[in-house]
Amino acid sequence: MVPPFPLPAPMRRALALARAAAAADEVPIGAVVTKDGAIIGEGENRNRRDCDPTAHAEIVAMRAAAAHLNDHRLTGCDLWVTLEPCPMCAGAISHARIARLYYAVGDPKGGALEQGPRLFAQPQCLHRPEVYGGLAEAEASALLRDFFAVRR
């Protein structure tokens, strides 16, 4: 399938989380972790609120999912996020053994998959998820554009 197609529910939830982040004056990115189709962890950017340099949406969602499963690995789980992950988050995705990664839009400035270090293509990389990008490009990029338009 190529877009447009009915947006899967986890990505719709990730977009809602991104909008909630914007409302809290955080960079509008949201993420959810699913297992067997059910959401088991979710997160939005919380760097400023939590005084935590690592609190990107993906990290928050994966930590919540791992706590839910009582396991440090998310084997068989999928991650849905509104922006292409950065190197920190892509590294965490690999450590967590995420099975499938779905993201809404690529990030030419900070993405680590399609550009820059292309982490999952590095021979060092011990675990690569299946990756599906571009699921909701227009909506996710509009959220980011609108957020930064009033702040720069």
DSSP three-state, residue 61: helix
Query: How far are the Cα atoms of 20, 117, 120, 152 from residue 113, in angstroms, in the given order?
Result: 26, 7, 7, 26
Q: Does 100 bind a second copy (CB under 8 A)?
A: no
141 binds a second copy, rule: CB under 8 A: no
The yes or no reply on residue 144 touching a second copy (CB under 8 A) is: no
- Pick the binder of a second copy from 1, 53, 150, 152 (CB under 8 A): 53
Question: Quick check: 133 binds a second copy (CB under 8 A)?
Answer: no
Pick the binder of a second copy from 11, 17, 40, 74 (CB under 8 A). 74
Q: Is 130 considered catalytic here?
A: no
Would you give the DSSP letter of residue 6?
A: P
Catalytic residue among 26, 42, 44, 58: 58
Amino acid at 139: E
Residue 91 CB partners (closer than 8 Å, separation 6+): 119
Contact call for residue 50 and a second copy (CB under 8 A): yes
Which lies closer to a second copy via its Cβ, residue 114 or residue 139? 114
| Contact present, 16 and 38 (Cβ < 8 Å) | no
| Residue where the block lists tokens 């939005």 | 44
H/E stretch holding 33 reads strand 30-35
Q: Does 20 bind a second copy (CB under 8 A)?
A: no
The Cα 78–Cα 70 span in angstroms is 17
Residue 63 interacts with a second copy (CB under 8 A): yes or no: yes
Q: Cα(83)–Cα(112) distance, rounded to whole angstroms?
A: 11
Residues annotated as part of the active site? 58
Binding site for a second copy (CB under 8 A): 47-48, 50-55, 59, 62-63, 66-67, 69-74, 86-92, 94-97, 109-110, 112, 115-119, 122-124, 126
Give the residue numbers of the binding site.
56, 86, 89
Give the residue numbers of the binding site for Zn(2+).
56, 86, 89
